Chain A
Amino acid sequence: QSVLTQPPSVSGAPGQRVTIACTGSSSNLGAAYDVHWYQQLPGTAPKLLISDNSNRPSGVPDRFSGSRSGTSASLAIAGLQAEDEAVYYCQSYDNSLSGRVFGGGTKLTVL
């Protein structure tokens, strides 16, 4: 089981908005460590999508946004497109494990 908890799957129709939750604990998100989000398209390496809770790296569309509160964080994707079908991972640092931890990943299906 992953240290950070994500739903296994979410889905939405083109144009809709979906959110993916990431739940942690007092030793990671609750300890004020930032959360980062990655997108992994089929057959490719993960790519940084959101850094430091809510920052979009250059080139990431503003349809993607992140937020964080207490021991939880979320990734929102607005105006869903077919090309957004991927697995999304949250990641943070855990001070009880002294290492970087990932969520189990959420597979987004665009209906």
Chain B
Amino acid sequence: EVQLVESGGGLVQPGGSLRLSCAVSGFTFSSYAMTWVRQAPGKGLECVSVITDSGGVAYYADSVKGRFTISRDNSKNTLYLQMNSLRVEDTAEYYCARIALSYGPLDYWGQGTLVTVSS
């Protein structure tokens, strides 16, 4: 059974940092690109970052470029999102998801971890 479990969310002050983790199981992690998608309270979905299967290439939405860093440890079956210089508008539920193919769907999602940026 494919499972993705996020952790690391919480309350942080503006300008602070957090590192999210996504532990996966049930598939060959090193064979799939992965992504972080966020959802602000009551709002829609936004793909904030993507990383290739090897970790060699990453994509960032303009809204987080220069502040967030995606990475992965294929030996630990874990995906990460380092979030620095956090802003109030980064408050959201953060989901990790598996990308089925190069431009394919996000076929498996985690349950999400909530990040709240507030003073």
Who on chain A is nearest to B102 by CB? A93
Q: Inter-chain contact count A-B, CB under 8 Å?
A: 58
Which B residues touch A89, using CB under 8 A?
44-45
B contact patch SS: strand
Would you call B105 and A33 a contact (CB within 8 A)? no
Would you give the 0/1 interface string for B65-92, flagging 1 where the beta carbon is closer than 8 Å to chain A? 0000000000000000000000000000
Residues of chain A in range 80-103 having any CB-CB distance to chain B below 8 Å: 89, 91, 93, 98-103
A105 within 8 Å of B by Cβ?
yes
A51 on the B face (CB < 8 A) = yes
A47 & B44 in contact (Cβ 8 Å cutoff): no
Contact of B35 among A38, A98, A100 (CB under 8 A): A100
A48: Cβ under 8 A from any B Cβ: yes
A45→B45 CA distance, assembly (Å): 11
Q: Is the CB of B47 within 8 A of A46?
A: no
Interface centre among A44, A101, A102, A104 (most CB of B within 10 A): A102
Is the contact region of chain A dominated by helix, strand, or loop, or is it mixed? strand
A38 to B46, CA, bound (A): 13
**B104 x A98 contact (CB < 8 A):** no
Contact A101:B47 (CB < 8 A) given known A45-B109, A47-B109:
yes
Can you name the residue of chain A whose Cβ is closest to the Cβ of B107?
A48
Known: A47-B109, A51-B107, A100-B106. 12 other contacts (CB 8 A): A33-B103, A34-B104, A36-B105, A36-B106, A46-B106, A48-B106, A52-B104, A52-B105, A89-B45, A99-B61, A102-B44, A105-B45
Closest 3 CB pairs of A and B: A36-B105, A51-B105, A100-B47
